[in-house]
């Protein structure tokens, strides 16, 4: 970790365990085995940023599953019953402690890709952190959204009110004085129409990645002069969708129509079209000879091949 004489700043990224859940393949990819279920991780990540005064700013992206399933609202627990078996340890806090960090003291920022139950984790563990979420997240937590996302599955008090900020809406017309105050301005970068240069030094970008759930965001982090990591959250649940080998599955929505795991399938596919080109080496989306490793949250083979890159290991 460190900056160079060229003023370029790089971050250190480590994978964190966030527990595991069991998903039926047919809900996620086309041409799936109708019976196949897999117990998959919900990956979280620690990003260490070399800030001024030699202080390291530590950011955690996504918190995985809660280790105590009884802390979910009853309606959410009913859904989780269909996602068994789950693995609840190690969770994010366990994994950070295992590498010598105290989640309560040492984590400065938590960014959630979105507030599905298997990403929200246990925010109470991070009592010193500022929480940052995508636009619309707080409204979703308070009100739910439509029949697939009823209010009853969300906890309006999930995030600490005094330590949580929402990124501004992407649409320019919505820019307000309050948005400017946060210094978080959406700008195009790396083939994406809307990104926020989070630390203002080109090391970590929050990427607006709509379609999966309201407020869904990804991170693009620079770990070396020509090496980047793209943390894709739930942009898709199987990297073969990014390569075009598979497509987003559609299934009966219970109301005579079809749905996918994404709140807006067409928008989610537009987002995937922007992420896909990052896989090319060198990626055409960035100037120069840059390589990007794309990691989605539920990628079981990635976890199995990369156990050495979990904290205190690094990418």
Q: Which stretch binds Zn ion (CB under 5 A): 9-17, 159-167, 234-242, 270-278?
A: 234-242
CB of 114 to Zn ion, least distance (A): 6
Q: Which stretch binds Zn ion (CB under 5 A): 22-30, 151-159, 227-235, 241-249?
A: 227-235
Count other C-beta atoms under 10 Å from residue 159's C-beta. Answer: 22
Query: Which residue's CB is nearer to Zn ion, number 116 or number 222?
Result: 116
Q: Which of 25, 62, 234, 238 binds Zn ion (CB under 5 A)?
A: 234
CB of 233 to Zn ion, least distance (A): 7
Query: Which residue's CB is nearer to Zn ion, number 91 or number 203?
Result: 91
CB of 22 to Zn ion, least distance (A): 15
CA atoms 184, 270, 258, 251: torsion sign: negative
- Three-class secondary structure of residue 162 per DSSP: helix
Structure tokens at 273: 């079209």
Strand partners, 231: 219, 295
Structure tokens at 304: 């199995």
CB of 232 to Zn ion, least distance (A): 11
Residue showing the smallest CB distance to Zn ion in the complex = 116
CB of 120 to Zn ion, least distance (A): 10
Nearest to 118 by CA among 166, 84, 162: 84
**Beta strand 56-61 with 109-111: parallel, antiparallel or unpaired?**
parallel
Q: Would you call 300 exposed, middle or buried from its count of C-beta atoms within 10 A (0-12, 13-18, 19+)? A: middle
Task: Please give the size of the binding site for Zn ion, defined by CB under 5 A.
Answer: 2
Regarding 58 and contact with Zn ion (CB under 5 A), the answer is: no
Count other C-beta atoms under 10 Å from residue 294's C-beta. Answer: 23
Query: Which residue's CB is nearer to Zn ion, number 112 or number 223?
Result: 112
x/- binding map, residues 102-141, to Zn ion, per CB under 5 A? --------------x-------------------------
Query: Which residue's CB is nearer to Zn ion, number 234 or number 299?
Result: 234
CB of 149 to Zn ion, least distance (A): 11
- Angle at CA of residue 140, ends 135 and 146, nearest 5°: 125
Q: What's the chain's length in residues?
A: 315
**Which distant-in-sequence residues (6+ apart) come within 8 Å of 47 by Cβ?**
11, 12, 13, 58, 59, 60, 61, 204, 219, 221
Binding site for Zn ion (CB under 5 A): 116, 234
């Amino acid at each position: 970790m460190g900056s160079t004489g060229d003023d370029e700043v790089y971050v250190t990224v480590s994978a964190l365990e966030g527990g595991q859940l069991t998903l039926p393949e047919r809900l996620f990819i086309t041409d799936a085995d109708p019976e196949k279920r897999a117990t998959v991780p919900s990956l979280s990540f620690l990003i260490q940023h070399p800030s001024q005064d030699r202080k390291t700013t530590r950011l955690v992206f996504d918190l995985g599953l809660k280790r105590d399933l009884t802390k979910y609202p009853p309606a959410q627990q009913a859904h989780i019953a269909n996602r068994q078996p789950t693995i609840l340890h190690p969770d994010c806090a366990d994994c950070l402690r295992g590498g010598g960090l105290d989640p309560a003291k040492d984590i400065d920022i938590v960014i959630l890709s979105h507030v599905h139950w298997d990403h929200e984790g246990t925010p109470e563990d991070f009592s010193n952190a500022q929480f940052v979420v995508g636009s619309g997240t707080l409204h979703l937590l308070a009100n739910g959204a439509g029949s697939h996302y009823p209010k009853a599955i969300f906890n309006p008090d999930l995030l600490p009110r005094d330590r949580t900020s929402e990124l501004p809406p992407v649409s320019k017309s919505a820019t307000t004085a309050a948005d400017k105050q946060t210094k978080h301005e959406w700008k195009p970068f790396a083939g994406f129409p809307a990104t926020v240069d989070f630390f203002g030094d080109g090391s970590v970008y929050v990427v607006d990645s709509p379609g999966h759930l309201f407020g869904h965001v990804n991170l693009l982090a620079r770990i070396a002069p020509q090496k980047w990591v793209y943390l894709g959250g739930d942009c898709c649940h199987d990297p073969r969708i990014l390569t075009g080998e598979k497509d987003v599955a559609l299934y009966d929505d219970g109301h005579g129509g079809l749905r996918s795991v994404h709140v807006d399938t067409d928008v989610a596919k537009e987002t995937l079209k922007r992420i896909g080109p990052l896989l090319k080496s060198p990626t055409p989306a960035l100037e120069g000879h840059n390589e990007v490793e794309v990691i989605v949250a539920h990628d079981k083979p990635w976890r199995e091949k990369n156990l050495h890159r979990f904290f205190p290991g690094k990418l």
